[in-house]
């Protein structure tokens, strides 16, 4: 996904400067650390509701501060064999850390190591620490701690997360076989919707995630989804404001058109992006695929020709599902995706409404599969218990 990331970057430096002024200081390893970070501190008055940096101050003690040496040891010197991914931020390694009090089993973790420390990289790292330090939801990845060292031997910024053994939704939709079954796809999207609903509606401040895409939906041992990558997250508008103005960053093919055009960011931008990923799980195609014929390269342009209430709709369904899905539930999901993709941002559903619609689609899919199971059982009992082909 790296190649499409951060395509729309307008006026990045101006924005970075503006945003960095609200950043708090983090607990650091070396004396010189704090000087780099305290430059970004502010003593501005605290608005109501409290901002993420303010909420972070109350919770920062929950995060463990690692030394660079600890994380180097945890990954055997950032060994290539332990590398599990590479994103725009840098490499991700599987590692093992000892528990904080030294008692109990070692803990398997994922360690993200920032590649080069430009202002943007540092800003994203700090945003991620602050947002993930504040939020707490079963569908958001847990940040266990971080490492921040500005020493004579170099500048290091790392993040330590709970390890997600089933990698990302992107991996399973586009890279791996066997493919994800229909109901699992819906359940993953329901969990992701609940994570986003919590960000939009369940906190003191509205949080706009801004980077929803299949590679940021990580899967635990039982395929429960958790959103990762909070480097682009922003606090939503407060009071009478309708939007926050930002530089346009995100991943090509996913961003809402009004956001790309104006830089005005709202929670509805996340909802548009959710609609794009709904079409990815229906079709098994990425938001943008350059190796397809021109008319099929942009997923949203292609699916427009196959509306959910038309007979043609089933033609866009992922062939890897091998017809093992409920068509009526798929049509419902198609309509839901279209409502998320409404050009008029205000008319898009809220994330909790999206979650409710997905629950109904899952219910419908369960009914279809249980009636298929019943028919199967009846025919096998008629066959004297032999398997019907
Ligand atoms: N907590 C984690 N547990 C297990 N694997 C992870 C974890 N975090 C990230 N990964 C793996 O590392 C890969 C790279 O993640 P990363 O977020 O850096 O990049 P990306 O999402 O692919 O791209 P981008 O930088 O555009 O967001 C992920 O796709 C995933 O497979
Ligand atoms: Mg990511």
Q: What is the CATH number of the domain that holds 316?
A: 1.10.510.10
pLDDT > 70 in the chain, percent: 82
With a 6 Å cutoff on the Cβ, whether 163 touches ligand 1 is yes
Within a domain: 385? no
Please check whether residues 77 and 208 belong to one and the same domain. Answer: no
Number of independent structural domains in the chain: 2
Asked if 206 and 141 sit in the same domain, the reply is no
Let me know if residue 332 belongs to a domain: yes
Q: How far apart are CA 228 and CA 206, in angstroms?
A: 17
Mean pLDDT estimate for the chain: 84
**Residues involved in catalysis:** 211
Q: Residue 269: which domain range? A: 169-372
Query: Which residues make up each annotated binding site for ATP?
Result: 113
In a domain, 8, yes or no: no
What does residue 113 show for φ and ψ, rounded to 5 degrees?
Answer: -120, 120
Cβ atoms of 53 and 205 closer than 8 Å: no
- In a shared domain, residues 363 and 223: yes
Within a domain: 214: yes
The neighbouring-strand residues paired with 227 are 140, 217
Residue 42 scores a pLDDT above 60: no
User: Residue 111: nearest ligand to its CA?
Assistant: 1
Q: Tell me: do 214 and 327 sit in the same domain.
A: yes
Q: Do 234 and 340 lie in a common domain?
A: yes
Is any atom of ligand 1 closer than 6 Å to the C-beta of 214?
no
Segment 349-365 mean pLDDT:
97
* Ligand 1 atom with the shortest distance to the CA of 251: 26
The verdict on the CB of residue 212 being under 6 Å from ligand 1 is: no
- Give the Å distance between the CA of 327 and the centre of ligand 2: 31
The answer, yes or no, to whether residue 22 has pLDDT greater than 70, is no
| Cα–Cα distance, 294 to 267 (Å, whole number) | 31
Q: How confident is the model at residue 357 (pLDDT cuts 50, 70, 90)?
A: very high
Say yes or no: 295 and 355 in one domain.
yes
Q: pLDDT category, 24, cuts 50, 70, 90?
A: very low
**Torsion, CA 206, CA 211, CA 214, CA 220, rounded to 10:** -60
> What is d(CA 186, CA 191) in angstroms, rounded to the nearest whole number?
9
- The residue out of 121, 140, 162 marking a domain boundary is 162
The arithmetic mean of pLDDT across residues 248-267, rounded, is 89
> Residue of the nearest CA to atom 31 in ligand 1?
167
The torsion angle over the Cα atoms of residues 92, 136, 232 and 192, rounded to 10 degrees, is 80
Q: How confident is the model at residue 250 (pLDDT cuts 50, 70, 90)?
A: confident
CATH code, domain with 98: 3.30.200.20
> Does residue 381 register a pLDDT over 70?
no
| Residue 139 and residue 229 share a domain | no
292 preceded by a cis bond (ω within 30 of 0): no
């Amino acid at each position: 996904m790296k190649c499409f990331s951060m395509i729309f970057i307008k006026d990045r430096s101006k924005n970075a400067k503006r945003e960095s002024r609200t950043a708090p200081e983090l607990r650091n390893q070396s004396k010189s650390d704090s000087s780099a970070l305290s430059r970004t501190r502010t003593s501005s008055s605290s608005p109501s509701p409290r901002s993420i940096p303010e909420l972070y101050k109350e919770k920062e003690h929950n995060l463990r501060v690692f030394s660079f040496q600890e994380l180097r040891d945890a990954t055997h010197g950032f060994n290539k064999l332990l590398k599990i991914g590479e994103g725009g931020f840098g490499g991700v390694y599987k590692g093992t850390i000892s528990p904080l009090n030294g008692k109990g089993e070692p803990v398997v973790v994922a360690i993200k190591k920032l590649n080069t420390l430009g202002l943007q990289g540092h800003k994203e790292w700090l945003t991620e620490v602050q947002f993930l330090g504040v939020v707490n939801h079963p569908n958001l990845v847990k940040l266990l701690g971080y490492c921040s060292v500005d020493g004579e031997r170099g500048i290091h910024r790392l993040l330590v997360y709970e390890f997600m053994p089933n990698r990302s939704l992107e991996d399973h939709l586009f890279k791996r076989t066997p493919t994800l079954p229909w109901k699992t796809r819906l359940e993953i999207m329901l969990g992701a919707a609940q994570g986003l609903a919590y960000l939009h509606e369940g906190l003191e401040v509205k949080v706009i995630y801004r980077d929803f895409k299949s590679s940021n939906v990580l899967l635990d041992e039982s395929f429960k989804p958790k959103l990762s990558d909070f480097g682009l997250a922003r606090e939503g508008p407060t009071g009478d404001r309708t939007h926050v103005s930002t530089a346009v960053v995100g991943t090509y093919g996913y961003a809402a058109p009004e956001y790309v055009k104006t830089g005005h960011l709202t929670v509805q931008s996340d909802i548009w992006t959710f609609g794009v990923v709904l079409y990815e799980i229906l079709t098994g195609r990425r938001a943008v695929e350059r190796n397809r014929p021109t008319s099929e390269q942009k997923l949203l342009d292609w699916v427009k020709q196959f509306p959910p209430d038309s007979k043609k709709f089933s033609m866009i369904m992922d062939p890897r599902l091998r017809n093992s899905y409920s068509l009526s539930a798929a049509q419902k999901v198609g309509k839901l995706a279209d409502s998320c993709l409404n050009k008029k941002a205000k008319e898009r559903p809220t994330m909790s409404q999206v979650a409710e619609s997905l629950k109904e689609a899952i219910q419908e899919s369960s009914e279809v599969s249980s009636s298929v199971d019943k028919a199967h059982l009846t025919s096998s009992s008629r066959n004297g218990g032999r398997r019907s082909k």
